[in-house]
């Protein structure tokens, strides 16, 4: 069987689809369960906003909802990849999963998606409970469930990926990209203001905030950088503490084979992060 070059360079140790605590199949099921909960809750909230509140037009203008969609995308994408890996780990060597043979653009986007879901929910949670929450946050059972799902549970969902999987530490190249994406979101917020007549977040209203607006925007950018660095080194610490645990025999054999050593010499996939 001929192995294409994208496989050689991307995630050679299969870190994105393994855990030091769980088997690949268990990890896949956990990810798919979390993804299913996030997907169903998002659909219910969207349907409720449309049918009961008649307030669905600006739903995807909120960064909370966009970051939650990112979580859904990650758990389903990683869950399906892990499920394929669990199957191949029982059937063949070396261990593979589909993403390893896909185009490098898709591989990069998978890594970037992980960088966003590892950091944005932290920003969402901090900003919401520090600046946006009020007595209305738990005014009704539905509103309480919505805020618990999107402003509380999002954090343990992310911490599961950071702490209990073998996902590699964030690459530095993703830091400016994640900050830039936050900047692009400001465009969405102000387009919503121009097209629908409201600010998705009051702290983005220049009439209300005045000079503080620049401080809020700068602070969120700096906050993203700080969160990114903290999460990166939390993962580095986890990698060091659990090094060697949960590595399958087949993966170990693959990683120390002469062929793998030759591949490492021949192919550079920007593993320096």
Q: How far is CA 168 from CA 19, 115, 194, in A?
A: 11, 10, 41
pLDDT confidence of residue 52: 75
How many Å apart are CA 241 and CA 235, to the nearest integer?
10
Q: State the Cα–Cα distance between residues 207 and 196, nearest whole angstrom.
A: 17
Contact 74, 117 (CB under 8 A): yes
Q: Is 122 exposed, middle or buried (0-12, 13-18, 19+ CB in 10 A)?
A: buried
Per-residue pLDDT of the chain (273 residues; tens, 9 = 90+): 333 444 457 999 999 999 999 999 999 999 999 999 999 999 999 998 887 766 777 788 899 999 999 999 999 999 999 999 998 866 656 778 999 999 999 999 999 999 999 999 999 999 899 888 888 889 899 999 999 999 999 999 999 999 999 999 999 999 999 999 999 998 888 998 888 888 888 888 888 888 888 898 899 999 999 999 999 999 999 999 998 775 544 444 444 444 344 444 443 444 445
Give CA–CA dist 100/239, Å, rounded. 21
For the chain, what's the residue count? Answer: 273
Q: Following DSSP, what letter does each residue of 145-178 receive, concatenated? A: HHHHHHHTTHHHHHHHHHHHS-PPPPPTTHHHHH
The pTM (predicted TM-score) of the whole model is 0.85
Give DSSP secondary structure letters for 100-147: GGS-HHHHHHHHHHHHHHHHHHHHHHHHIIIII--GGGGSSHHHHHHH
- Residue 94: asked if its preceding bond is cis (omega within 30°), the reply is yes
């Amino acid at each position: 069987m001929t192995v294409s070059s994208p496989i050689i360079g991307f995630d050679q140790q299969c870190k994105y689809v393994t855990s030091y605590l769980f088997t690949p199949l268990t990890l896949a099921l956990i990810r798919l369960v979390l993804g299913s909960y996030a997907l169903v809750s998002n659909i219910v909230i969207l349907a409720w906003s449309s049918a009961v509140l008649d307030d669905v037009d600006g739903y995807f203008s909120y960064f909370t909802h966009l970051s939650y969609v990112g979580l859904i995308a990650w758990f389903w994408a990683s869950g399906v990849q892990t499920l394929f890996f669990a199957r191949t780990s029982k059937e063949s060597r070396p261990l593979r999963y589909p993403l390893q043979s896909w185009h490098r653009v898709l591989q990069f986007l998978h890594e970037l998606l992980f960088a966003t879901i590892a950091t944005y929910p932290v920003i969402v949670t901090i900003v919401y409970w520090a600046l946006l929450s009020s007595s209305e946050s738990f005014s009704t059972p539905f509103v309480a469930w919505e805020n618990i799902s999107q402003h509380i549970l999002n954090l343990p969902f992310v911490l599961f990926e950071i702490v209990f999987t073998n996902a590699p530490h964030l690459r530095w190249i993703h830091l400016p990209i994640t900050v830039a994406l936050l900047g692009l979101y400001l465009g969405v917020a102000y387009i919503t203001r121009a097209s629908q007549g409201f600010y998705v977040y009051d702290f983005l209203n220049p009439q209300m905030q005045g000079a503080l607006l620049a401080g809020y925007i700068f602070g969120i950018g700096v906050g993203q950088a700080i969160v990114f660095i903290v999460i990166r080194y939390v993962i580095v610490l986890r990698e060091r503490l659990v090094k060697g645990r949960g590595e399958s025999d087949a993966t170990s054999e693959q990683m120390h084979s002469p062929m793998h050593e030759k591949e490492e010499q021949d192919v550079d996939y920007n593993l320096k992060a």
